[in-house]
Structure 1
């Protein structure tokens, strides 16, 4: 057994968060200030068991800061599994940014925390060790409202954004027991979306999320990270609790599907996507080159 933390209950406060070191876990409490990332505010606090941590690092940060980083084990945290490496550093809940003058203190706690880890802690887990955000949860996507009550995921389409394919299919409800995972593509990336993965794959599956009734698409101001990612994590945790899920070679729950060949879209849908692309361009979220290239891709699908 590794030694216990020398002073249980000690707190290390940084920018936007404070870590409280306990005998078997680290309790992370996030601030709710105006400059605190919205994802941190949405999470509130998180308890990270020592067995959920693979490694601890301390490195120089930007503008006179140091960063204490607890690296989660593969499969330990549904939030990080759903994020699949898409979170920006500033929104990583496992990073504590501190003033550089606290480096010595941070190094002390990093060493203390490393002493709690074992060689097995670097291996993938067979269950989630960090609690997922609790249902009920909901958020507005570009083409519909997504809701999750703990057992059922529901999509209700918006007439202003949903494709004709989704309107034809009608509003959708998916029992957790019928799912094997999710695919979350950050709204900060063009064509961000949340797609549900059924245990029994349909014979034909739309290649584009905006044509798939098992998906909602994001957009400028729709499906933000602090709303859609906790939602995805909660669904993932419920999927694993409901029965065997698709596992990656590393042992994590499947969070993405194999790419499906592209299908030809309705011209009206293409026009709507180009209009949305223009909004992203005008807002400065994509460059001139990205706008031109993506517009050409969409036109090529006609």
Structure 2
């Protein structure tokens, strides 16, 4: 197409096989758009294109609808994004409706025969690691190969302190759950595979609360914000989906490393001052009776081993 369509908060640049969305960094632009900056959407990632009146008087909305499973960002969001933060919406003044209709028609003509089918792989790139954000009970980091949770003594539950800081290799994961911080009980939970590499069983259907689960971090007021935690979740999801073919080709043998063993693999040497501070916090928990003598000694040894 080779044309540009400028709207409110973003501009769409049409190419022969994709549309490049450039997001503005204005004060009223959703912060998620600031983080995304720009995204290239291949036409093969689209399911359909819609044109409808905008939410505000005097506007129209041109919206691309991606195929199921084509975009890791929307897959992670799972329908929880507010309309204003939908990166596939272009809001235009109503006087541009004819122009918007023209581009909608052109986009529809570019859709392939598989547009109505779920995508077999991600077709839109996720935000690139390294990424990190602060949750209420810990700091989450992702370097492209492993997700690490480091607990805050001011917010983490005693169950998480007892389990210790966690690190999960991508090939240990079966999936993840992102629950928006804008709703009650927002969290990011990692779904681990069983020891033989197969998806973990559902068990009795009773799930551990996120604040007690060492494979989850919880959000809260000012923590795990959408523009921080959702790109993080999308990046992790994209990495584990990319790892699935390799997992399928593995022959019988040792399964993925346990998360405690993985804690020391692929990570930089810990800061001695940080280790000392965390040991001090462990001592406070021990003195408060939240850790037994054996638990305190074991965790202290784990921390010293990181030096």
TM-score by length of 2: 0.76
Give, in whole Å, the separation in 2 of the partners of 1:245 and 1:36.
40
Per the TM alignment, residue 42 of structure 1 is displaced from its structure 2 partner at its CA by: 0.3
Give, in whole Å, the separation in 2 of the partners of 1:245 and 1:145.
29
Helix, strand or coil: the match of 1:27?
A: strand
Q: CA RMSD in A?
A: 1.6
Give, in whole Å, the separation in 2 of the partners of 1:80 and 1:172.
26
What residue number does 1:154 align with? 148
Say yes or no: does 1:214 pair with 2:208. no
Per the TM alignment, residue 156 of structure 1 is displaced from its structure 2 partner at its CA by: 0.4
Structure 1 segment 1-302 matched on structure 2, within 5 A? 5=1, 8=2, 10-61=3-54, 62-200=56-194, 201=200, 206-244=207-245
Give, in whole Å, the separation in 2 of the partners of 1:98 and 1:143.
41
The Cα offsets for residues 69-90 of structure 1, whole Å up to 9 and x where unpaired, read as 0000001000000000000100
Give, in whole Å, the separation in 2 of the partners of 1:245 and 1:89.
36
Helix, strand or coil: the match of 1:235?
A: helix
Query: Is the 1:181–1:245 contact (alpha carbons within 8 Å) kept by the matching residues of 2?
Result: no
Give, in whole Å, the separation in 1 of the partners of 2:180 and 2:51.
27
Q: 1:113 to 1:133 in 2, by over 3 A?
A: same
Give, in whole Å, the separation in 1 of the partners of 2:35 and 2:24.
10
Helix, strand or coil: the match of 1:71?
A: strand
Give, in whole Å, the separation in 2 of the partners of 1:245 and 1:30.
35
Q: 1:160 to 1:206 in 2, by over 3 A?
A: farther
Give, in whole Å, the separation in 2 of the partners of 1:149 and 1:118.
35
Give, in whole Å, the separation in 1 of the partners of 2:207 and 2:185.
14
Per the TM alignment, residue 207 of structure 1 is displaced from its structure 2 partner at its CA by: 2.1
Query: Is the 1:196–1:214 contact (alpha carbons within 8 Å) kept by the matching residues of 2?
Result: yes
Per the TM alignment, residue 179 of structure 1 is displaced from its structure 2 partner at its CA by: 0.3
Gaps of 5+ in 1: 247-302
Give, in whole Å, the separation in 2 of the partners of 1:245 and 1:180.
13
Give, in whole Å, the separation in 2 of the partners of 1:50 and 1:167.
47
Helix, strand or coil: the match of 2:191?
A: strand
Per the TM alignment, residue 118 of structure 1 is displaced from its structure 2 partner at its CA by: 2.7
Per the TM alignment, residue 147 of structure 1 is displaced from its structure 2 partner at its CA by: 0.1
Per the TM alignment, residue 206 of structure 1 is displaced from its structure 2 partner at its CA by: 4.8
Query: Is the 1:239–1:245 contact (alpha carbons within 8 Å) kept by the matching residues of 2?
Result: no
Give, in whole Å, the separation in 1 of the partners of 2:65 and 2:226.
20
Query: Is the 1:144–1:162 contact (alpha carbons within 8 Å) kept by the matching residues of 2?
Result: yes
What residue number does 2:282 align with? none
Per the TM alignment, residue 160 of structure 1 is displaced from its structure 2 partner at its CA by: 1.1
Helix, strand or coil: the match of 2:61?
A: strand
